[in-house]
Chains A and B, each alone.
Chain A
């Protein structure tokens, strides 16, 4: 039987699920508006019951995404200030060293892969990409949602600017997801066909040791035997082995 460690809390799993669902709906109702001349665009708009229907779904999903982002960031800031949470997702110098080490390994210049902590530089990149990109989408989305309000206080040129930014940032996010995220969470050798950790919340100890060696060593010691003694269980441990993260 495989031994597991808890990797994601219920809140985190729910957050991922909401982001995944809203992202998908936003893409399905947003891209037809960007590529309005494509046959597929007309087909998708029809599926959502016409342009009004597609826009309603887009706006509701967008508001949900904005609310989630707001609560996620406020909770993260609050718990960090209260010292309940370590900033395990904030990039530091080690990430830079890890990235260089990992690329050297890929190129055959180093014999060993980088030893990552709780989140490797790729995961941090994706997390911050989502947060910052999400903030751009939310800000520009609101400008496009309420152009009259915006124009009362700010230059009108912000509205077409927001349209260009919203549509390009959306395209970029989508391209990152279908290349980077789909590769790392589905297609990469060793992961294929599917990394269930974000849905089940647990990760096999063997994978944790391989992919997050520094975290593993910190939690269970560098010896595998001590890991078992440390009480890694098949079921998620009631107490989180790792601190919550932003």
Chain B
């Protein structure tokens, strides 16, 4: 913890040094020009011990356009390469060479770097598998702002997860995204960008409700599309929502109650009124039967379709609720009054 004046000065100095390289001055420009005198050549490459040829070409224009282009110079990311001749490359293969750059982003982007260490991709890397780390998604010399436009995110993830990307592209969110909407969620809005967790775990599945709720309880956002923000509360009022919210207490239940995605679909989610929608009244019996095999037709009416009970919608449920809202205070009030009268009489008699 930084305290007192001394701490204040040192933190100010720290911020100063941190900020210093973020504005490219003449010194940085000179450095970039120096490096590009070799690396600007398209044929710039060297041979790795396994015989493969590794290019070390950097597109000058591309780098200048990148987010770092006007802010940091080459040694900002490649500090060891400030000396000539460059230190010997220890990597034996192209993969090893790429892996050696893994930590370069850490010194500036420490938070996202550590988050990525908790991510599912890094877990794969640690097991020796192929999975992306910083530059595989963000690029290296061509880094741009990640969500401008948002389609870049789904394109980036889709490069590896093409099957999911294709399904998502046809969903209500994917179609809107393709039309340029910046409101719809893309991969990282639900899965997170850096601390991407394994989506097959129970604890992750239970969190999907929060992911949907983030946008679908946002009044201003939902108004734009004429959607109800009651969807989460009405779900929680139902048996399924209540069960799901208690599923993380103690040992998780044998069967997790239906979550948003179990009825609406996940990457293939459609408008509720779409003909193919799993939640369309006509398709509901089939959707219920996924967990309740042999569900009779009437069974679908047990679900109130995200409506709050009212005299028009589910009048029976509404009436019973109103009855108790009146009767409980009336009854308990009467009993408490009689208790108080009794106590008063006992006191007066003394």
Which residues of the other chain, B, contact A189 by a CB distance below 8 angstroms? 343, 346
Output the nearest chain A residue to B295 by Cβ-Cβ distance.
A148
Say if the beta carbon of A2 comes within 8 Å of chain B: no
Tell me the minimal C-beta distance from A171 to chain B in angstroms.
7
Tell me the minimal C-beta distance from B314 to chain A in angstroms.
6
Task: Out of A105, A148, A154, name the residue touching B294 (CB < 8 Å).
Answer: A148
Which of B35-43, B173-181, B236-244, B260-268 lies at the binding interface? Answer: B236-244
Tell me the minimal C-beta distance from B291 to chain A in angstroms.
11
Task: Out of A107, A155, A169, A176, name the residue touching B335 (CB < 8 Å).
Answer: A176
B-facing residues in A158-191 (Cβ within 8 Å): 158-161, 163-165, 168-169, 171-172, 175-176, 179-180, 183, 188-189
Which residues of the other chain, A, contact B345 by a CB distance below 8 angstroms? 105-106, 108
Which residues of the other chain, A, contact B249 by a CB distance below 8 angstroms? 41-43, 45-46, 50-51
Which residues of the other chain, B, contact A235 by a CB distance below 8 angstroms? none
**CB-based contact B298/A151 at 8 Å:** yes
Task: Out of B250, B299, B300, B316, name the residue touching A46 (CB < 8 Å).
Answer: B250
B283-324 vs A, Cβ < 8 Å mask (1 yes, 0 no): 000000000101111111111100001000010110011001
A18-55 vs B, Cβ < 8 Å mask (1 yes, 0 no): 00000000000000110011000111011111111100
Q: Is the interface of B mostly helix, strand, loop or mixed?
A: helix
Which residues of the other chain, A, contact B236 by a CB distance below 8 angstroms? 36-37
B residues whose Cβ falls under 8 Å from a Cβ of A: 236, 238-239, 242-243, 245-254, 292, 294-304, 309, 314, 316-317, 320-321, 324, 327-328, 331-332, 335-336, 338-339, 341-346, 348
> 30 A-B pairs, CB-CB below 8 angstroms?
A36-B236, A41-B246, A45-B250, A50-B252, A51-B243, A51-B249, A52-B253, A106-B341, A106-B344, A108-B348, A148-B292, A148-B299, A151-B298, A151-B299, A151-B302, A155-B301, A156-B299, A156-B302, A157-B302, A160-B303, A161-B320, A165-B320, A168-B320, A168-B324, A168-B328, A169-B324, A176-B332, A180-B339, A188-B342, A189-B346
Sorted nearest first, the 9 A-B pairs with minimum C-beta distance are: A156-B301, A50-B250, A50-B251, A168-B324, A159-B302, A46-B250, A151-B299, A106-B341, A45-B249
